[in-house]
Amino acid sequence: MKKINFPIVSFITLLFCVLSFQSALAVEVPLKKGETGPATMSKSTSILPVSVSLDDTTLGVFFSKPVGIAQITIEDESGNVIYQDVVNTNSSLESYIETGGFDSGNYTLKVSYGTTTLIGSFQL
């Protein structure tokens, strides 16, 4: 019978516990379609290709499929843009935003690509 290397097994177990605990603390930020012009939104149901999660210091924006160039904007309660970035989803489906330096308060997240704008809000 082979001898199991205790330090390696301990490290893998610890890593698994840390990653499980971190994902348990993450909060899902719901997104909804924003107004993109004079057209009204149809009543059909669609699955959004973007999801957002928030933990203590990081906001993660995840695309389930490439949508081309996407712009990510975060505004504070006064409507001031405090973060803006452009993501090429053809090369990366994830974007992480460090929120540790943000003041406490309510924020609005906008993710725009093509003619679609998705809006969500979160609180720090």
CA angle, residues 52, 54, 57, in degrees to nearest 5: 140
Task: Please give the domain boundaries of the chain with CATH numbers for all domains.
Answer: 27-38+47-123 (2.60.40.3080)
Burial string for 67-101 (b: 16+ CB within 10 Å, else e) reads beebebbbbeeeeeeebeeebebeeebebebebee
**Percentage of residues of the chain with pLDDT beyond 70:** 62
Residue 37 scores a pLDDT above 50: no
* pTM of the predicted model as reported, rounded to 2 decimal places: 0.65
Question: What average pLDDT score do residues 56-68 get?
Answer: 92
Average pLDDT, whole number, for the chain? 76
Which pLDDT belongs to residue 25?
Answer: 43
pLDDT-derived band at 10 (thresholds 50, 70, 90) equals low
